[in-house]
Structure 1
Amino acid sequence: MRPRRVVPRDAASLILIDSSGPMPKVLVGRRAAAHRFMPNLYVFPGGRRDPGDHRIKALDALPAPVVDRLARRVAKRRLACARHGLAVTALRELYEETGLLIGRLDDQHDDRTTSHGPALLPALGQLRYVARAVTPATSPMRFDTRFFALFTHEAGIDPAAVRDSRELEDLRWMAIDDRQSVPLPAITATILDDLAARLAMDPHLSFEPGVPFYYTVRGRFVRTML
């Protein structure tokens, strides 16, 4: 009997960049040992898309080039989720996992208050779309993850304000060229390599460049551009 095909679930991550020093740093945290997916590895804040994320209102819109890239290689019926919804996912997960808020909390409308407290009104206007990766078919859990990037100074974030959570432990700012201090998933290291190369050529991360898309075909790793 053939093994059941696991369909990748939409997910999003945010790569926060602290460019205040000579070497850019990115925020990573260790996934708890109890996680089924990538336990004890250091990753960017993020997680799977909630069904209602695409309906959450934002303080501002995604830049047009980002909207265009997010729509590539996505079925038309899923465009709302793949564009606005995944950007919201990245910022919602950041807040839940690190306490860092990109936007503001809405405590004025009872119908938008969640079990976690006031609902998030995310600010999307400075997000860059920098990578997309699909978990290999051999994995028992699969995600189609879009990676966004944002500079801390653009969002008014104090890098010292991060706090650990049940989802991400030992949060730390890691030099973007560091591959030795903590255990990283191979795909995270690959994304960091590409992002470091892009930052070297484009320190402000303009919105227009193509986006690397990583996936596997018959066990072979593929990197193409969106």
Structure 2
Amino acid sequence: MRHDPENLGHDRPIRDAATIVLVRGTGDDAQVLMGQRGEGAAFMPSKYVFPGGAVDADDWRVTVSLPEDQIARLSLRPVTENPPPPAAMAAAAIRELWEEAGLMLGTPGDWQGPLPDDWVDFAKAGLRPRAEGLRFIFRAVTPPGRTRRFDARFFLARVEDVHGDPDDFSRATDELSHLHWIALREARRLDLPFITEVVLAEADAILREGAPDTVPFFDNSGAESTFRRLG
């Protein structure tokens, strides 16, 4: 069932969002890409986070392929009035990685469909976005009372799907500073939002033990906070 957040007495509307948890290495050598939000940022200032942000209108126009099981889980329990299709969620995550870290999660090939402005650089590089390797691992709705609220889907991705040098952040915007690869377990020592800590633990468990059949979902869209598992 869909909920209209503005009719629940909450002070901010909920926006759909997507985040990339980009990893490289395995076991004790596994690393994750993180950056720090500016101290003047309206949302989570000075915190270390993964690249991510709201789903834009142009993301709806991007053609990407996702496994059927991922599509099914991403489609469960929408909370916004007009939730984006799973392909748009994946496209948003890939675009945010490009904008905030300067890394292209893509594969060589001709662009498919219309070419939105945010994706011109992909086309110029002879790439199309690659979503086949993304795995939906976590979802959380920001609680009421925050300056901004998101229904965020977290995607695990492997560095092997990045086209180019994964240590080259020269094309990144200035939204995240101190972009760097850090050992997955050491990342928890950074100044992190609570949800980011939980997602790091989930990603670590998946890399070591394999992915479960369900996806954790912290649902704060209603009058009460609810923990669910999607699957």
Q: Is 1:28 paired with 2:34?
A: yes
2:151 aligns with 144
User: Hey, what's the Cα distance between the residues in 1 that align with 2:118 and 2:160?
Assistant: 30
Counterpart amino acid of residue 89 in structure 2: L
1:95 aligns with 98
Q: Give the alignment's TM-score, normalised by structure 1.
A: 0.83
Given candidates 76, 79, 86, the residue that maps to 1:72 is 76
User: SS at the partner of 2:140?
Assistant: strand
1:63 aligns with 67
Q: Is 1:16 paired with 2:18?
A: no
Give the number of equivalent residue pairs: 217
Contact kept in structure 2, 1:107 and 1:118, CA below 8 Å: no
Q: Give unmatched runs, 5+ long, in structure 2.
A: 1-7
What is the Cα deviation at residue 17 of structure 1? 0.7
2:177 aligns with 169
2:219 aligns with 215
User: Hey, what's the Cα distance between the residues in 1 that align with 2:96 and 2:176?
Assistant: 10
1:40 aligns with 46
Contact kept in structure 2, 1:106 and 1:112, CA below 8 Å: no
User: SS at the partner of 2:94?
Assistant: helix
Moved more, 97-106 or 164-173: 97-106
Change (3 A) 1:47 1:127: same
Counterpart amino acid of residue 98 in structure 2: Y
What is the Cα deviation at residue 177 of structure 1? 1.4
* CA displacement, residues 97-136 of structure 1 (integer Å, 9 cap, x when unaligned): 1110012588989x62627744553111111000001000
* CA displacement, residues 13-63 of structure 1 (integer Å, 9 cap, x when unaligned): 0000111573311100011222100111110001101012111123xx101
Contact kept in structure 2, 1:18 and 1:159, CA below 8 Å: no
Contact kept in structure 1, 2:34 and 2:180, CA below 8 Å: yes
Moved more, 178-187 or 93-102: 178-187
Contact kept in structure 2, 1:136 and 1:219, CA below 8 Å: no
* CA displacement, residues 44-103 of structure 1 (integer Å, 9 cap, x when unaligned): 001101012111123xx1011100100110279846x14111100000011011110012
Q: Give the alignment's TM-score, normalised by structure 2.
A: 0.81
